[in-house]
Amino acid sequence: MTEVQSPQRPARLRGFLRPAPVLSSALLLCIGLTQPAFGQAAAAAPAAAAPAAAMAPAQTPAAQPLGANQQDGARAGADDTRNQNTRVSRGSVLLAPPDRLTDFQRTVQETTGQPLAIFGASLFANVPSTFAPVEDVPVGPDYVLGPGDELRVQVFGQVNQQSLFAIDRSGDISLPQIGPVHLAGLRFSEAQTFLKTRLGQVYRNFDVSVGMGRLRSIQVFVVGEARRPGAYTVSSLSTLLNALFASGGVLPQGSLRDIQVQRGKQTIAHFDLYDLLLHGDKSKDIPLQNEDVIFIPVAGPQTAVLGSVPNPAIYETLPGTTVQQAIDLAGGLTSLAAGAHIRLERVFEHTMRSVVDVDIAQGQNPYVQTGDIVTVPAVLDKFHASVTLRGNVANPGRYVWHEGMHVLDLIPSRDALVTRNYFRRRNELGQISSDYGENQTAPSDATEGAVGPHASATPSQAIQRGSAQGQSGNSVATALTSNSGVFQAKNDVVLSAPDINWSYAVIERLDARTLTTSLIPFNLGKVVLDRDPAENKELLDGDVVTIFSNADINVPTSQQTRFVRLEGEFVASGVYSVQPGETLRHLLKRAGGLTPDAYLYASEFTRESTRRVERQRLNEYAQSLDAQVTSAAASSNAKAINDRDAASATASLADAREAIARLRQQEPIGRIVLPLTPDSHDIDSLPDLALEDGDRFVVPRLPSVVNVAGQVYSANAFVYSSGRRTIDYLRQAGGPDRQADAKRTFVIRADGSVFSNQYGKVDRALINPGDTIVVPLRLDRRAILRNLLDISNIVGQFGLGAAAIEVLK
């Protein structure tokens, strides 16, 4: 069948489609749609008598040319439609701007604050602009034959013959030796008997089989509140629904409940599209005949239903519809609906809006009127006879309240305060990483007994060695040796501890009379650990009990739990709990001291509070540099004599900002440089530095190399030799290259400090194991860019190390 096309129409009739989900395949099958191949183009329709296959409901329609003079005009209209679809479609799905809100939609949105769609409008949204014709669809026995239909007539028996006959404009077919036979107006089920009777006048001992060939086309008119009203050439098998989709559907102001089919001077059908939308029933979808008129009137009374219903929308209601029936249109009540009292807003005597409470449980069920807004409230979030436990607990939630209930009834033991997250992360500590040796053993129960303010744990290895026993607050986890990555969750050891705030918890209580909230604090430790009846507060219905961790509220330093990580060349590396005021030197003695291979001078001590301060200062420094660079660039552009100078200034600004951006990306580690010397070998060399929670102390092995980096001919690591100086290692590296700024050479000491020419002659400086000699890049640009080289001073302060070289490149 030649595909039908949309008629040319005035711009005012071109409606807009509301974006909505594409029709489901089940619904398309229900109404007889077949989706087209991608990109299938529409073609001009033939004359009305040309046979055609059944048209798919959303097929792009076309006006049937009524004569030779109008044929070009109709084709032009179809071309215009194709061009329009090209502008607004993607693939083969028509996408158009959303429909404008109707007056009632705007009223509902202004009144309730909730935008509501018109129920059923999405059925015609995003309708494919082209559809493949339905081929080889069997016709029903009640199909009425007419001009343009083709019949396949097969005669077998004494006579064997098969022919294809087309019913002409007179309604006849011409049979050999019989002549014209009038078939128009007969039902398909009657055609076979009728033809056998006529053929029996000439032949004997035969039988006849009649089938349908191509079907005729018919012309129908879609008028009223259609999205694309006009005359459409469709298949003779098309139904009312097919024509509706062909015309783009119904406008927002059109009726979905009283779509009329007029044949001659009579209205032969009233179709309610809600039967299809709500129940999947299309039994009243009638086949169309030539010259049928489909009329879509203006929508009838409309009622908005919203709140606790499955499908809040604006519904077209029939006369005699009650509030309950309107709610049923929206799917009924949800499980959280407070169905006893329904709020009904309506226009009162065309002067103002009024509100009516409808108690359906008491038999109140008034009829709805046009413009009504039915709101189904949800149940309150208030819980009856319950108390809530939340915060740093194992099982937060709501619990049944009873008379005389106290805090201990809600939190019977300390086990209720250990969160599930704690156990999850604790269990992860036993997961061995891929690089962990098979001949090594993981630490057992690293955090056992770490719950509560009086708890302590003794590391398994320390017990075996007898080096860390007999003190409260011994290490929480040991056996985390200098082999980094022994455990995948090694860095989570400290964070997994159940750091409970035992001094402060609170009951939140609402006064039912004044509706004011009061907070009743209590000492959690005295309730759970000491069973103090004075702190065991009585609970009332609706109370909320909140348990905090020390991270939630800043508690006194003496009450904070501290963990410090020791890594590297220690007799017992691990994570240790420390007492208030305990020093680094004291902790190392508890950990068994250092191994003979320890290089204390190159140790790295990092602190989280220091890292945060460094991050802030680094951001401030980068911001200051950015302002200086911008100011210098503006000054350089103002002083530029020619284009070359201006281009150079622009390039300098870009390079400087790139360097600043890299500086911002550097992450400080919070390193604190300890006052140690290369001759520091024992614990007594360490300062009496008070430890904080999260401190980390790493002592490496004594290195045997010195690193030379930057602008030298051979940047490498060289074997350390006692007594050698900077110049000696630079000679080994081939010396500074042509791009080097040799005067600004500096040394990053193994302890993290920086030595430069500002403090003496770098080339004569004695080099220690683990030191790094850096020769920076020479930048022949403005002084402001040279200031970026002063980042070497920041390197020591922020512990950025040799990574600063990449910042300068």
CATH of the domain at 238: 3.10.560.10
- Residue 392 phi/psi, 5-degree rounding, is -85, 70
Last residue of a domain, one of 295, 311, 336: 295
The pLDDT value recorded for residue 46 is 34
Going by pLDDT thresholds of 50, 70 and 90, the confidence category of residue 397 is very high
| pLDDT grade for 766, boundaries at 50, 70 and 90 | very high
Residue 730 pLDDT more than 90?
yes
Indicate if 361 and 480 belong to the same structural domain.
no
| Same domain, residue pair 750 and 782 | yes
Is residue 691 a part of any domain in this protein? Answer: no
Q: Name the percent of the chain lying above pLDDT 90.
A: 41
Is the pLDDT score of 473 beyond 60? no
CB-count exposure of residue 349 (10 Å: 0-12, 13-18, 19+): exposed
Regarding whether 758 and 633 lie in a shared domain, the answer is yes
- Residue 111 falls within a domain, yes or no? no
| More confident of the two residues 628 and 459 | 628
In a shared domain, residues 712 and 734 = yes
pLDDT of 796 > 70? The answer is: no
pLDDT tens for each residue of 52-80: 333 433 333 333 333 333 333 333 333 33
Q: Which of 681, 701, 665 is nearest to 484 (CA)?
A: 701
Q: Do residues 528 and 632 both lie within one domain?
A: no
Closest of 571, 425, 448 to residue 496, by C-alpha: 425
Phi, psi of 387, rounded to the nearest 5 degrees: -125, 155
Domain end residue (candidates: 295, 325, 344): 295
By CB atoms closer than 10 A (0-12, 13-18, 19+), residue 554 is exposed
Q: Is the pLDDT of residue 246 over 80?
A: yes
Q: What is the pLDDT of residue 375?
A: 95
Of all residues in the chain, what percent carry a pLDDT higher than 70? 73
pLDDT category, 558, cuts 50, 70, 90?
Answer: low
In this structure, are 266 and 367 located in the same domain?
A: no
749 pLDDT above the threshold of 50:
yes
Q: Give the three-state DSSP class for 583.
A: strand
Q: Are 314 and 119 in contact (CB under 8 A)?
A: yes
Q: What is the mean pLDDT of residues 754-772?
A: 89
Helix orientation angle between 608-639 and 791-798, rounded to the nearest 10 degrees: 170
My answer on whether 391 and 519 are in the same domain is yes
> Would the pLDDT of 292 be above 80?
yes
Residues 585 and 708 in one domain: no
Q: Name which residue leads in pLDDT, 644 or 498.
A: 644
For residue 498, the model assigns a pLDDT of 59
- Type of residue found at 253: Q
Q: Which two tokens mark 142?
A: 């009640």
- Quote the pLDDT of residue 100: 86
Q: What is the pLDDT of residue 412?
A: 92
Global pTM?
0.53
- Given this model, what pLDDT does residue 588 score? 92
CA distance to 477, 575, 683, 698, per residue, from 598 (Å): 21, 18, 11, 10
Give pLDDT, residue 636.
Answer: 72
Shared domain check, 719 and 649: yes
Among the residue ranges 130-144, 193-207, 341-355, 671-685, the one predicted with the least confidence is 130-144
Is the pLDDT reported for residue 501 higher than 50?
yes
Q: How confident is the model at residue 41 (pLDDT cuts 50, 70, 90)?
A: very low
The residue out of 180, 212, 244 marking a domain boundary is 212
Q: Is a pLDDT exceeding 60 seen at residue 538?
A: yes
Asked whether residue 684 is assigned to any structural domain, the reply reads no
For residue 789, being part of any structural domain is answered with: yes
Per residue in 295-308, pLDDT tens? Answer: 999 999 999 999 99
Tell me the CA distances in angstroms from 534 to 125, 126, 526, one per residue in order.
68, 69, 9
Is the pLDDT at 323 greater than 90, yes or no? yes
For residue 65, the model assigns a pLDDT of 33
Yes or no: say if 199 and 155 are a contact pair by the CB < 8 Å rule. Answer: yes
Domains in the chain: how many in total?
Answer: 5
Are 338 and 397 contained in the same domain? no
Q: Which domain holds residue 42?
A: 11-100+123-134+217-295
Across residues 588-616, what is the average pLDDT? Answer: 91
Between the ranges 23-27, 553-557, 591-595, 788-792, where is the mean pLDDT highest? 591-595
Among 606-615, 696-705, 727-736, 797-806, the range scoring the smallest mean pLDDT is 797-806
310-336 average pLDDT score: 95
Domain identity same for 618 and 570: no
Residue 431 within any structural domain of the chain: yes
Band (pLDDT 50/70/90 cuts) for residue 127 is low
Token digits for 656? 């400087």
**pLDDT for 224-237, tens place per residue?**
999 999 999 988 88
Predicted local distance difference test score (pLDDT) of residue 117: 94
Which of the 8 DSSP states describes residue 448? T
The answer as to whether 643 is a domain residue is: yes
Question: CA 252 to CA 373: how far, in whole Å?
Answer: 18
Q: 687 or 495: whose pLDDT is higher?
A: 687
pLDDT at 742 over 60: yes
pLDDT band at 157 (very low <50, low <70, confident <90, very high): confident
CB crowding 651-678: b at 16 or more within 10 Å, else e: ebbeebeebbebbeebebbbbebbebeb
* Longest CA pairwise span in the chain (Å): 131
- Domain-located, residue 262: yes
The backbone torsions φ and ψ at residue 799, rounded to the nearest 5 degrees and listed phi first, read 70, 35
Q: Where are the alpha helices (DSSP H) in 247-398?
A: 273-279, 323-329
Q: How confident is the model at residue 414 (pLDDT cuts 50, 70, 90)?
A: confident
Question: What mean pLDDT is reported for the chain?
Answer: 76
In a domain, 106, yes or no: no
Q: Is the pLDDT of residue 628 over 70?
A: yes
Over the range 692-714, which residues count as b (16 or more CB within 10 Å of their CB) and which as e?
A: bbbbbbbbbebbeebbbbbbbee
Q: Which residue has the higher pLDDT, 449 or 644?
A: 644
The interaxial angle of helices 608-639 and 643-665, nearest 10 deg, is: 170
pLDDT(131) > 70: no
181 and 308, same domain (yes or no): no
